[in-house]
């Protein structure tokens, strides 16, 4: 959101220098090329600074106020199956609704969200850091389990666009948002399926067996 707006303002500065503040996309690129042909010995440089949106105040000394002008939002729903003989859980379908302002590039945005969801599923069901003497002992792909393509369910992504006036072209941003919600969604789905309350992830078969059968408690 912040970096994107700076880039947007820099592009506006470029457009102004080449003759039309409203130029965007291919038209701006062509105008810049034409400017270079007409000014072969000159350098075209754009500058921009982030301007805090009106009403957004942040006190960096006391860490109070609003650090962000706006927030992206999301809702997640996971469908799971649990084998009651092996206590292995798998995600069979995943649904997400994202409100990230204006979606500039839907393909890239969808890929970012799907990738984050896959990471969240891995966090919820597979990925466990094992430590000994303060060091991670399963720090290789041979012993640190991550999801494979066989573990990835159909992922449904729906966008609700609510353009943000102070973001680049109305966008807010995605960032780590699609990683924050999927793991809790998977854990809640497992809790609903088994009638238990998992408090730790990943939900490995060993942990699920303990929860259901009370083994080791």
Among residues 34, 51, 161, 176, which one is catalytic? 176
Between the alpha carbon of residue 41 and those of residues 18, 36, 38, 44, the distances in Å are 15, 8, 9, 10
Residues 164, 162: Cα–Cα separation, whole Å: 6
Backbone angles phi, psi at 155, to 5 degrees: -115, 115
Element (H, E) at 64: strand 64-65
Active site residue 43: no
What distances in angstroms separate CA 157 from CA 160, 175, 183, 189, one per listed residue? 10, 16, 16, 18
Residues in the chain: 217
Looking at the annotation, which residues are catalytic?
176
């Amino acid at each position: 959101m912040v970096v994107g707006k700076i880039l947007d303002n820099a592009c506006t500065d470029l457009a102004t220098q080449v003759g039309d503040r409203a130029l965007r996309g291919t038209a701006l690129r062509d105008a810049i090329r034409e400017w270079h042909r007409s000014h072969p010995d000159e350098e075209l440089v754009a500058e921009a600074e982030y301007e805090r949106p009106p009403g957004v105040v942040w006190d960096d000394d006391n860490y109070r106020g609003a650090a962000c002008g706006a927030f992206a939002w999301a809702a997640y729903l996971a469908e799971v199956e649990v084998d009651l003989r092996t206590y292995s859980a798998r995600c069979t379908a995943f649904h997400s609704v994202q409100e990230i302002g204006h979606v500039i590039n839907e393909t890239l945005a969808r890929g970012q969200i799907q990738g984050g969801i896959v990471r969240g599923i891995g966090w919820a069901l597979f990925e466990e850091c094992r430590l000994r003497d303060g060091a991670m002992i399963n720090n290789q792909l041979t012993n640190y389990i991550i999801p494979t393509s066989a573990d990835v369910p159909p992922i449904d992504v729906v966008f609700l666009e609510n353009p943000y006036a102070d973001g680049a072209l109305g966008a807010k941003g995605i960032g780590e948002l699609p990683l924050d919600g999927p793991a809790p969604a998977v854990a809640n789905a497992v809790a609903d399926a088994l009638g238990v309350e998992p408090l730790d992830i990943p939900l490995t078969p060993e942990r699920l067996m303990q929860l259901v059968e009370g083994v080791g408690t």
